[in-house]
Amino acid sequence: MSIPRLLFKNQLRGYWKLLRKGLPLLAALLVFILFLAGEVRTLVTNKEFLGAFLPPVYAVVLLFIAARRILFLKYPPFYFSLPGLYFFLTTPVNHRLVLAGKILLSYLPLLFLGFGWSLLAGPVQTGLLNGAGLFFCLAAIANISWLLYNTAAGRLFLRKVLAFLAITLLLLLKTPGFVWAIIAAGCFWRAVNTVDEINWSKYENHCRLAYLSRKYFLAGDWGGLESLTYEYAREKRPAAAFLSTRVYVTGYKAFAYGQFLILSRYSLLSFVVFLGQYVFAVFLMGRGEFFSLTGGSFLLLLGFAGLFFLPVQKLEQRMAQGLFPAGGFTEFITGLLLLPAVVAWMFLAAIFFIAPTGINPLLQIAASLVPAAILSYLAVVRGMLQPAFSGWFLTGALLFALLFSCIYRASWWEALLVLLLFIPYMLISWRRMKRIYEGTDF
Amino acid sequence: MAILQVKDLSKSFATVHALKGVSFTVRSGAVVGLIGPNGAGKTTLIKCILRLIRYEQGRIFLNGQPLSSRKELAAQISYIPEQPVYYEELTVEENLNLYAMLSGTPRREFAEKKAMLVDRLDMAEYLKKLPDQLSKGNKQKLMIAMAFLKRFQLLLADEPFSGLDPVMIRRLKDLFLAVKKEEKTVLLSTHLLDLAQTVCDDYIFLDHGAILAAGSREEILRAAGASGKEEFSLEEAYLKLLARGENP
């Protein structure tokens, strides 16, 4: 079998796997894209609106892409698979030719974007770039991004700023598509001829991230995906060694302290994402309708569990590898519930001040202690009972959403009823987690 | 004749000096052990030779010539990486075929080498399986087979014994010795000195990014302070050199 056929076979099997595993997600994505395309189509047929509004938005979007790809450059514009990179680097293939092919293949999405936009916008152009112009502009940005990605750190910042300013100027001057095509071709030529100057160690690291993300996604391994995100986000933040070496605690406090250490090494982005989810959840709850309340509570739980489940999952993974921590299950669960429960109570209590309900807030704050405990318990459930979005977690999440929306509306009897429903759920999940902890869950 | 010369090679990662002015020569047709504890800089050094890592200072010569293009480099050097890398959706046999084709190994030579490697590494029963279905040791065998399918002058093996059982370790050592007979060179990175001693002609002892000693067994013993040949073993010499490196 020839080289292209073997590579094609590998791709085909990969796509088949993707299709089998991610069919619902792909279908949802397709529906979303079609919906979006329909909306855009409606917008662009409104010529008056388009004439006044779209050109500046269009330029801003392109500048945003340029800023992300050039000024705040972090990742390469295209990736090799990890085996692809290894085979490419360790065999005497024509490296220029392979790289050229890889760059050209990476243009495919840009081609769809450029001409897709052209198709949608129809006769009404934005006055800036047509489909081909947009394609060449994006290709030029991608090529410049690749050249800068491989530039030595010393001269990088100045080059990034200069490149971004040049692109801004070209966009402001409404440069025609053929100029972008010349720039794209020049940068392509330069990229292909500097294959020996590529920063392979950095590139390999980023290819590993992209490759493993895809691999975990295809395997439905959400835990693996989140661990990978954590690993790469942590790279930038050196571990605060003084925290782990100056404190010595045992029993449930050791679990709580371990959890605190892991949380202290989260990236800032993790907390920003959580706060974003919290703010949006509170906004939804403030609308007061039943669905907004339940949806807001559900979102709140997702954000909270997303923040606190990782320490639990890391412990669970280590136990699966043969590390059995000293201490019983009660110590384990107490230790892991402590910190999230306190944090959850603070955040739940704050909701009654941010979006007041007119009911005695002190009573609601006191009553929030129960959902706060449940919230932290569900974070443990999410970490212990895989997969991450299992029936266990989703059932608990639904019960929590109902419970907290009842407390928010001060429907005490309904809240009590939901709480009663929660008891069997907790008993069963507790026993299951205990079996996992003790290594008897076969 | 020297196949590989490394002169004054330095590489830093942020505040860590991974390699500090490393210089050594590898003679052609020898199995050379690159020995050092975990974190000594062995993998970094190998990746510098492969030009997978940019180094700040120093020069590397292959057959007396400075490293030029990647194609030239890949044509002369074969590499067994520390972690197995393969196409997951291709079977073991398909991975071997693809690697050999990309390496430009002639068809007849490939068939002969493949038959020999499959036999020696006991790979026949899982040729049609996907690599992900294999144990760690069997994945490692795939990487070894891929590296040996290629024509090379210098083989860089990064912890190649990892995950292998004693029988396979013995067979891999035999493969290294066969390479030596063909006047080709192996640079074998490992922290297992007892294993290295059974196959290596020369040694490069590395610790904290610096070379403690390099040369034949006798030269290493002399560097460690031995006056007679049997005064102490290579292992003792290694420990003495490590201790000296930590308390110069």
SS3 B3: strand
CA distance B231 to chain A (A): 43
Quote the CA–CA distance of A437 and A430 in Å, as a whole number. Answer: 10
CA distance A94 to chain B (A): 7
Residues of A in contact with B103 (CB under 8 A): 91-92
Q: What is the pLDDT of residue B23?
A: 93
Flag the least confident range among A316-325, A363-372, A396-405: A316-325
**Does B177 contact chain A (CB < 8 Å)?**
no
- Residues A92, B104 contacting (CB under 8 angstroms): yes
Interchain pair B102, A87: CB under 8 A: yes
Q: Which one is predicted more confidently, A212 or A115? A: A212
CA distance B232 to chain A (A): 40
H-helix segments, chain B: 42-49, 70-76, 92-103, 107-120, 136-149, 166-181, 193-197, 217-223, 234-246
Q: What is the pLDDT of residue A442?
A: 63
**Does B12 contact chain A (CB < 8 Å)?**
no
Q: In the structure encoding, which two tokens stand for residue A94, read together?
A: 């024509």
Q: What is the pLDDT of residue A44?
A: 63
SS3 B31: strand
Q: What is the pLDDT of residue A250?
A: 79
Of B51, B69, B85, which to mutate for an interface test with A (greatest number of A Cβ within 10 Å)? Answer: B85
How confident is residue A140, by pLDDT bands cut at 50, 70 and 90? Answer: very high
Q: Which one is predicted more confidently, B168 or A27? A: B168
CA B120 to chain centre: 19
User: Which residue type sits at A116?
Assistant: G
**Does B67 contact chain A (CB < 8 Å)?**
no
Is it true that the peptide bond before A77 is cis, omega within 30 degrees of 0?
no
In what helix (H) or strand (E) does residue B212 lie, and over which residues does it extend?
strand B210-216
Helix (H), strand (E), coil (C) string for A130-141: CHHHHHHHHHHH
Mean pLDDT of A276-291: 83
Q: Taking 90 as the threshold, does the pLDDT of residue B45 lie above it?
A: yes
Give A284-305 pLDDT, tens digit per residue: 888 777 788 888 888 888 888 8
Q: Taking 90 as the threshold, does the pLDDT of residue A188 lie above it?
A: yes
Average predicted confidence (pLDDT) for chain A:
82
Q: Which one is predicted more confidently, B228 or A369? A: A369
Give B25-35 pLDDT, tens digit per residue: 999 999 999 99
Q: What is the pLDDT of residue A318?
A: 77
Q: Which residue of A has its CA nearest to B69?
A: A196
Q: What is the pLDDT of residue A30?
A: 81
Flag the least confident range among A127-131, A301-305, B14-18, B142-146: A127-131
Of A14, A87, A195, the CB nearest to B70: A195
Query: How does DSSP classify residue A289?
Result: -
Which stretches of chain A sit within 8 Å of chain B by CB?
1-3, 6-7, 9-14, 17, 81-84, 86-87, 89-95, 152, 195-196, 199-201, 204, 215
Is the overall model pTM greater than 0.90, yes or no?
A: no
Of B74, B85, B102, the CB nearest to A82: B85
Q: What is the pLDDT of residue B200?
A: 92
Report CA dihedral (A291, A379, A261, A333) to the nearest 10 degrees: 150
Q: In the structure encoding, which two tokens stand for residue A252, read together?
A: 């449930």
Residues of A in contact with B53 (CB under 8 A): 200-201
Give A80-130 pLDDT, tens digit per residue: 999 999 999 899 888 899 999 999 999 998 888 887 777 766 555 555 567
Of A1, A84, A152, the CB nearest to B97: A1
Q: Which one is predicted more confidently, A269 or B247? A: A269
Interchain pair B87, A2: CB under 8 A: no
Count of A-B CB contacts under 8 Å = 85
For chain B, positions 129-158, list CB contacts with chain A under 8 A. Answer: 150
Residues of A in contact with B104 (CB under 8 A): 91-92
Residues of A in contact with B71 (CB under 8 A): 92-95
SS3 A175: coil
How confident is residue A357, by pLDDT bands cut at 50, 70 and 90? Answer: confident
**Does B43 contact chain A (CB < 8 Å)?**
no
Tell me the DSSP string of A68-126: IIIIT--S-SS---HHHHHHHHHS-S-HHHHHHHHHHHHTHHHHHHHHHHHHHHTT---
Residues of B in contact with A81 (CB under 8 A): 87
Quote the CA–CA distance of A196 and B70 in Å, as a whole number. Answer: 6
Q: Taking 80 as the threshold, does the pLDDT of residue A18 lie above it?
A: no
Q: Which one is predicted more confidently, A167 or A265? A: A167
Give A359-397 pLDDT, tens digit per residue: 777 887 888 888 899 989 988 888 887 666 677 888 888
Mean pLDDT of A393-405: 86
Give A72-81 pLDDT, tens digit per residue: 888 899 999 9
Q: What is the pLDDT of residue B61?
A: 92
Q: What is the pLDDT of residue B141?
A: 93
Tell me whether strands B77-80 and B154-158 are parallel, antiparallel or unpaired.
Answer: parallel
**Does B108 contact chain A (CB < 8 Å)?**
no
ipTM of this complex: 0.87
Of A86, A150, A207, which to mutate for an interface test with B (greatest number of B Cβ within 10 Å)? Answer: A86
Interchain pair A92, B97: CB under 8 A: no
Q: Give CA separation, B96 vs A59, A81, B75, B134, in Å.
A: 50, 17, 17, 15
